[in-house]
Amino acid sequence: MAQLSKNTLDALLHDPPQLKRMLLYHVLFGDVRSDDLAQIEEAPTMEGSIVAIDHSQGLQVNNATVTQMDILADNGVIHAIDAVLVPALLGELE
């Protein structure tokens, strides 16, 4: 989230529903591992939108590059990315 502008971050912090929406845009349903991501081109998020999965230059989710995969956690699997994903309807915050 440090990549967000101060204005964007301030706007999100003062609008909890929008902040929740942005955070849920980073979460997929189920136990999605790198093997699963390699087989799909898009995935629904818990926010309700779809993210694009691109395999042409490594692994990307929308415009974010996956930098670390399959970090197992108690409540799921984490894939680290190098950018903040912004749902289309929140794009005007940037």
Residue 47, in any domain of the structure: yes
Please give the structure tokens belonging to residue 9: 């971050």
What pLDDT shows up at residue 51?
Answer: 96
Other beta carbons within 10 Å of 24 = 14
55 or 90, greater pLDDT: 55
Residue 68, in any domain of the structure: yes
Reported as a pLDDT band with limits 50, 70 and 90, residue 89 is: low
Residue 80, in any domain of the structure: yes
Residue 94, in any domain of the structure: no
The one-character DSSP state at 28 is B
What pLDDT shows up at residue 91?
Answer: 54
Residue 75 structural domain: 6-86
Domain count, the chain: 1
Residue 29, in any domain of the structure: yes
Render pLDDT for 49-87 as a digit per residue (tens, 0 to 9).
999 999 998 999 999 999 999 999 999 999 999 999 988
Residue 65, in any domain of the structure: yes
Which pTM was predicted? 0.86
For 73, counting Cβ atoms within 10 Å of its Cβ (0-12 exposed, 13-18 middle, 19+ buried), the class is: exposed
The CATH number linked to 67 is: 2.30.180.10
